[in-house]
Chain A
């Protein structure tokens, strides 16, 4: 007997999000489809509270059944943002990578985002948490069609279940972020590639903990485009204002600090307490921020101080874009 229904176009683990622009300026969520084990949930769109241009901002939660990725799962998410639309991608709690039965069974996640001109994406997920003896590869590809797409994307990973004594005990963890410029003729050029490789080999077999220098979490924050210009400048200027390493303060006299300066000093003291190191660099139209800390909590504290107090993310995308830092 033939099947009377048209074959489903969705495949296991596949998801699609499409934001379109209804003229003159109403963004709508045109497509939201997903297949087990991926689940996408979209709360009602919000208007950014005090943005100069109060456009509707959509948000989508990326969820997986069981709150994590089971060995052998393959997730494939495709996102298309029409020009001038804005999307917030969110997770609910860290993405757990459950242990694999063998080194060869690798779970994978691939996210491809097409941004047309002036579209903006804010993707601040919780950190990925690869359990001991897990194997996971993820790739995030951002295609900028037209020059001025905006990105604020964080990718961070922690040592595993710290409470159970796990310290970078995964078998394999790789995470790659690529940003491509695509011109009118469809010619692609790589603008940025950030690839973290924790894989066997290269170093004597002491797991990965020997190369971490006591850090329990590492992250990369990628900033680009007009929406995040002031935020990017904030990171660059705060990095420039970090005290010199190995310098001494000869002048012991108490200076009078402004409120802003006092907060900065407090943040820097907290960085030291949390064993947090960070850098920022302006290159190829991006500001790339890298950070590492002893514990996830310390890294969160720092991101909160840097992102929430500065205000750009909340102004442009609303408070919920910062959910992962709560």
Chain B
């Protein structure tokens, strides 16, 4: 051991001993010092909560209809492989149809009216439309009744908050120019603008949008007895799901609204035919 090493070693020991004698404030948990960090974390936790009152539990996004179209034979056979396929397709569909609207509403909040109209024009069936509008209206309701009063700072989003408020008003009072010109309240564009005013970073907003969808579909799978809750949690925790969500967000990052569309055409058939199920536990 050289003399330098010995000195370094002794200094290290001295430092450790001093720390034990007199703990420094820097030993507080990482991140606690920075209140803006926890406020971002807090917002994310609110939005990621499955108890967020959007009523998402009522929708299976076509899963129920898909299962009815793919009855296993024999009936006792597992529907799991078939479910994994559905989840993959469902995320792909959501990212090609709805995600561009999330991204664009976040980037260009004052185009909310047009985005809402164009999304409505691009939603080909009443079942999907009902599901999207129900959750979108609930989200703007949560904003209005629960979040807005606590939304102080960030003067950067004053304009966007105004856009949201006037959109909310037009939703409640209906349009003035006849049926085709009404506001609808679709989830995707509203998710974009609400996460913007809540200061959620764009990537996280998009990731959470897809993640929440996966969580909702998995929840529906558990309630349809396709899998148990531990298995569902394992899927949700898997790196496969993480990778797929990351890939989808990156792929659609610069997608224009006019190039959003259906990547899985049979999905429209399953979702549309949900109305024809003999027995239903979900609304979509």
Contact B126 A193, beta carbon cutoff 8 Å: no
Size of chain B's interface in residues, with CB distance under 8 A? 42
Assembled-state Cα–Cα distance A248/B278 (Å): 9
List of B residues within 8 angstroms of A280 by Cβ: 272
- Chain A positions within 8 Å of B, measured between CB atoms, are 174, 176, 181, 189-199, 201-204, 211-213, 215, 218, 220, 239, 242-248, 277-285, 288, 290-292
In the assembled complex, 5 residue pairs joining A and B whose CB atoms fall closer than 8 Å, in A order, are A197-B96, A198-B263, A202-B96, A203-B89, A213-B266
Contact A176 B266, beta carbon cutoff 8 Å: no
Q: Smallest CB–CB gap between A156 and chain B, Å? A: 10
B7-15, B27-35, B113-121, B190-198 - the one binding chain A: B113-121
B36-44, B137-145, B226-234, B254-262 - the one binding chain A: B254-262
Contact B278 A247, beta carbon cutoff 8 Å: yes
List of B residues within 8 angstroms of A193 by Cβ: 118, 121-122, 258, 261
Q: A174 and B261 in contact (CB under 8 A), knowing A203-B89, A244-B276, A246-B68?
A: yes
Contact B260 A195, beta carbon cutoff 8 Å: yes
List of B residues within 8 angstroms of A243 by Cβ: 276
Instruction: Please count the residue pairs between chain A and chain B whose beta carbons lie under 8 angstroms apart in the complex.
Output: 122
- B95 adjacent to chain A (CB < 8 Å): yes
List of A residues within 8 angstroms of B95 by Cβ: 202
List of A residues within 8 angstroms of B266 by Cβ: 211-213, 215, 218, 277, 292
List of A residues within 8 angstroms of B124 by Cβ: 194, 220, 281, 283, 288, 290
Contact A211 B263, beta carbon cutoff 8 Å: yes
Contact B117 A285, beta carbon cutoff 8 Å: no
Please name the residue on chain B nearest to A246 by beta carbon. B278
Assembled-state Cα–Cα distance A63/B268 (Å): 31
List of B residues within 8 angstroms of A220 by Cβ: 124
Contact A190 B264, beta carbon cutoff 8 Å: no
Assembled-state Cα–Cα distance A197/B92 (Å): 11
The binding surface of chain B is classed by DSSP as helix
Complex partner residue of A202 from B126, B129, B263, CB under 8 angstroms? B263
Complex partner residue of A197 from B68, B117, B248, B261, CB under 8 angstroms? B261
Contact A203 B92, beta carbon cutoff 8 Å: yes
In the complex, besides A193-B121, A284-B179, 12 extra interface pairs with C-beta distance below 8 angstroms are A190-B121, A201-B251, A202-B96, A245-B276, A246-B279, A279-B273, A280-B272, A283-B125, A283-B129, A285-B179, A292-B265, A292-B266
Contact A279 B121, beta carbon cutoff 8 Å: no
Q: A283 and B251 in contact (CB under 8 A), knowing A174-B261, A211-B92, A245-B68?
A: no
- B180 adjacent to chain A (CB < 8 Å): yes
Assembled-state Cα–Cα distance A195/B264 (Å): 11
Contact B122 A195, beta carbon cutoff 8 Å: yes
List of B residues within 8 angstroms of A248 by Cβ: 278
Please name the residue on chain A nearest to B86 by beta carbon. A213
- B181 adjacent to chain A (CB < 8 Å): yes
- B269 adjacent to chain A (CB < 8 Å): yes
Contact B269 A290, beta carbon cutoff 8 Å: yes
Contact A292 B269, beta carbon cutoff 8 Å: yes
Complex partner residue of B117 from A189, A198, A218, CB under 8 angstroms? A189
Q: Smallest CB–CB gap between B73 and chain A, Å? A: 14
Contact B126 A196, beta carbon cutoff 8 Å: no
Please name the residue on chain B nearest to A175 by beta carbon. B261
Contact A191 B273, beta carbon cutoff 8 Å: no
- B80 adjacent to chain A (CB < 8 Å): no
List of A residues within 8 angstroms of B122 by Cβ: 192-195
Please name the residue on chain B nearest to A285 by beta carbon. B180
Q: A195 and B69 in contact (CB under 8 A), knowing A203-B92, A245-B273, A277-B273?
A: no
Contact A211 B126, beta carbon cutoff 8 Å: no
Q: Smallest CB–CB gap between A72 and chain B, Å? A: 21
Contact B121 A284, beta carbon cutoff 8 Å: yes
Contact B121 A197, beta carbon cutoff 8 Å: no
- B58 adjacent to chain A (CB < 8 Å): no
Assembled-state Cα–Cα distance A181/B264 (Å): 28
Assembled-state Cα–Cα distance A195/B124 (Å): 10
Q: Smallest CB–CB gap between A167 and chain B, Å? A: 14
Contact B92 A202, beta carbon cutoff 8 Å: yes
Contact A290 B272, beta carbon cutoff 8 Å: yes
Contact B180 A181, beta carbon cutoff 8 Å: yes
- B277 adjacent to chain A (CB < 8 Å): yes
Q: Which of A196, A220, A278, A290 has the most C-beta atoms of chain B within 10 angstroms of its own C-beta?
A: A290
Please name the residue on chain B nearest to A214 by beta carbon. B266
Q: Which of B71, B95, B259 has the most C-beta atoms of chain A within 10 angstroms of its own C-beta?
A: B259
